[in-house]
Chain A
Amino acid sequence: MTNIAIRLENLSKQYFIGKRLKKYETLRDTLTDAFMSPFRRAGKLLRGQATGAAELDEEIWALKDVSFEVKSGEVVGIIGRNGAGKSTLLKVLSRITEPTEGYAEIRGRVGSLLEVGTGFHQELTGRENIYLNGAILGMRRAEIDHKFDEMVAFAEVEKFIDTPVKHYSSGMRLRLGFAVAAHLEPEILLVDEVLAVGDARFQRKCINKMQDVGHQGRTVLFVSHSMPAITRLCERTILLDEGRVLKDGPSPKVVSAYLSSGLGTTAAREWTDPARAPGDDVARLRAVRVLTEDGQTTDAVDIRLPVGLEMVYEVLQPGHILMPYYYVINEEGMRVFTTVDQDPYWRGRPRPPGRYVSTAWIPGNLLAEGMLFIGPTMKTPQRKIRHFHVPEAVAFQVVDSVDGDSARGDFTGSMAGAVRPLLKWKTQYSPNERK
């Protein structure tokens, strides 16, 4: 078939991630090796054996035998948990890194939005950076000239276009970066999570722009953690896990399979090895979980019932006033709320070394249905020191049972909003005051 835009055939990518420990028999062996290895490395380097040069021999397959085809004009979502190989796949397809085995065939010009604002130089002005960034992304000068005003308007930085980028806010930089990238008009567009950043209004603007791209018959591969964005933008979705294609089909099916498989998220996490637990020499996180009223770990909560967020941590040094808190983020990447430990006993009081369990209770009938991601964090509030922060450590699904006494009432459609509180409603009726 000729209308295949992307074809992958057993594409695999291997990374060397570390050095395997060797056991030395004698001191002499150790010394000889220490003396010889620079020569051995230099020799390998000169012969151009790049991977061998650093003597890394512990390997992982970031992608293993990935095969699929994408038709021209198709918009395909790629999902999977962190480390599943999504980003590596886009890197290989955008030719940033080479595959180890297999091959891919791509028909047409490829544009990638792997990270917006790549190549921005702090000292250059917005105008100069647009040209530089455009050229880096593969645009011709005439093309940039032509679209310049449009990009500036899209980024909403007209006033600052001749100011060095170092004086921009991070939001402005981001908008400018996306504006340049979004005006690239390749036949194939590779997008990695750029939509998960920026303020909500700009995100919506980006999503609209992406939809335009889809409608213009361009092929798009879209990597995201945002399931609503995936289902909205993509007809077809590919689920990757440990470098392999686990599922490939219509987005709603693949997304729900992913969510129900527990691959994407987990309701409880524990760090059994203290050395690997997140934290510093003051406090260390040992476990986080989502629990129901009766103390059971759960990954799905009835919208009407309270849900507990529990963190287990160790304090290692005396004399620190600590403040555990949680970020709660929804599927769209929006911060629904932040909650801090304000237990009156511990306010302004240092926590002596030992093991602690802090639980926060979210009341029932407050959250909207959907996936919520929890980021447990520990701070010393006065000195603004962060001891640990694990973004999206655990997650749970708020499930709305349509029947019953929830905030939904008799409404059966989809209810928009980040929260869905059960508010007290009162409706008065006066039969005689009719006109």
Chain B
Amino acid sequence: MQIKDRLEQQTTTAATQLLRVDNLPVIRIEPSKGWVSLKLRELWDYRELLYFLTWRDIKVRYKQTVLGAAWAIIQPFFTMVVFSLFFGKLAKIPSDGIPYPIFSYTALVPWALFSNGLNQASTGLVRHAGLIKKVYFPRLAIPIARVLAGTVDFSLAFIVLLGMMFAYGIVPTLNVLWLPCFLLLALVTSLGTGLWLSAMNVQFRDVAYIVPFITQFWMYATPIVYPSSLLPEPWRTLYGINPMAGVVEGFRWALLGTETTPGPIIIVSSLAALALLVSGAFYFRRMERTFADVV
């Protein structure tokens, strides 16, 4: 009797198991060839990991520092002070009729978001080498999380920006509604570049030395200390190939109401940033297969 019972129980569990197994998805593991798909669907499935990684990067960023999150403000703010002194006061660089300090700070806030994001993203994979060697998850989550974590710094610096606008008596127009788009543009540019550099950094650590160079050159190639209105028209629009030019002009237009409408330049910038992101993502995915072996 007992034996029969147990036998029955066993067959039923076996049957349910069979049923359950039948419904499970099959993963096929094989060598990938050439350019592979982005697997965005999978990235979406791992969105909670993305959330936790971002949250961790935010949480640990200023651990064991004296000034803590104040660094998020100090960096752009003091750069602004120096710029105002040398470029504004001494070199007398034009600023579209806006007081130079706020003119440059409005540009420096998104710039800091971009350059820090780029820096964090490009070193991310090497930082998390232990993780990459031990666990599977979409590797794209690492640079994305590290760029996203920068938005907290951005918010802090942005509050100071609002304070400065108040002090200078600048009231934003309705254009300010476009601001999130420009923020997104900065994030996309940062991530796109970061994906390229992080994938390369796994192979060659040279990248860690290149990044400070790139950001320095890129800063002077972006209208931060000067207005893009210095350029005559066909060239000014073409300037948008540097997506950060679009971001900076967008920020000034949305917050400070600079007269020059940045429409064309922003369209060019958006296309450039998108190209950077898509190419970066594919390049990253292509290199991804060797990360665990090389890093």
Contacts and interface: CB of A to CB of B under 8 A. Distances in A.
Contacts of B289: 50, 97-98
B60 A104 contact: no
Interface in B77-110: none
A162 to B, nearest CB: 14
A94 interface: yes
B60 A50 contact: no
Interface in B1-34: 13, 17-18, 21-22, 24-32
B87 to A, nearest CB: 35
Interface core residue of A94, A103, A131, A136 (most chain B CB under 10 Å): A136
A53 B202 CA distance: 11
Contacts of A112: 134-136
Nearest to B286: A48
B17 A73 contact: yes
Contact of A217 (B17, B31, B128, B292): B17
B29 A3 contact: no
Given A115-B134, A138-B137, A97 B292 contact: yes
B49 A128 contact: no
Interface core residue of B25, B31, B53, B131 (most chain A CB under 10 Å): B31
Nearest to A72: B21
Interface stretch (A119-127, A290-298, A380-388, A421-429): A119-127
Nearest to A142: B48
B28 A105 contact: yes
B30 to A, nearest CB: 4
B48 A99 contact: no
Nearest to A93: B29
A107 B24 contact: yes
B9 to A, nearest CB: 13
Interface residues of A, number: 52
A124 B56 contact: yes
A98 B32 CA distance: 8
A374 B16 CA distance: 48
A141 interface: yes
B294 A118 contact: no
Contacts of B48: 135, 140-141
A121 B29 CA distance: 30
A183 interface: no
A124 to B, nearest CB: 7
A99 B30 contact: yes
Contacts of A103: 28-31
Nearest to B57: A121
Contacts, number: 137
B132 interface: yes
Contact of A72 (B17, B31, B64): B17
Contacts of A114: 134-135
A101 B32 CA distance: 10
Given A91-B292, A96-B132, A104 B283 contact: no
B13 A217 contact: yes
B13 A96 contact: no
Interface in A387-410: none
A110 B53 CA distance: 21
A108 B29 contact: no
Contact of B27 (A48, A91, A106, A119): A106
Contacts of B137: 136, 138
On chain B, which size bracket covers the interface? 35 or more
A140 B47 CA distance: 10
A99 B17 contact: no
A132 interface: yes
B18 A136 contact: no
Contacts of A106: 26-29
A2 B21 CA distance: 7
B30 A96 contact: no
A50 B287 contact: yes
A45 to B, nearest CB: 6
Contacts of B200: 45
Nearest to B203: A53
A46 to B, nearest CB: 8
Contacts of A45: 200, 203-204
Interface string A52-95: 01100000000000000000110000000000000000011111
A317 interface: no
Given A54-B294, A123-B63, A135-B48, A107 B26 contact: yes
Interface string B104-126: 00000000000000000000000
Nearest to A131: B52
A95 to B, nearest CB: 4
Contacts of B59: 123-124, 128
A97 B285 CA distance: 13
A48 B29 CA distance: 21
A135 B137 CA distance: 10
B47 to A, nearest CB: 10
A338 interface: no
A319 interface: no
B130 interface: yes
B295 to A, nearest CB: 11
B24 A123 contact: no
Given A45-B200, A123-B64, A136 B135 contact: yes
A5 interface: yes
A388 B136 CA distance: 35
Given A45-B203, A98-B289, A92 B21 contact: no
8 contacts: A48-B287, A50-B294, A95-B29, A103-B28, A107-B24, A112-B134, A124-B60, A132-B52
Given A54-B204, A98-B30, A109-B24, 6 more contacts: A96-B135, A99-B29, A105-B27, A124-B60, A136-B49, A187-B21
Interface of A: 2-3, 5, 15, 41, 45, 48, 50-51, 53-54, 72-73, 91-110, 112, 114-115, 118-119, 121, 123-124, 128, 131-132, 135-138, 140-141, 187, 217
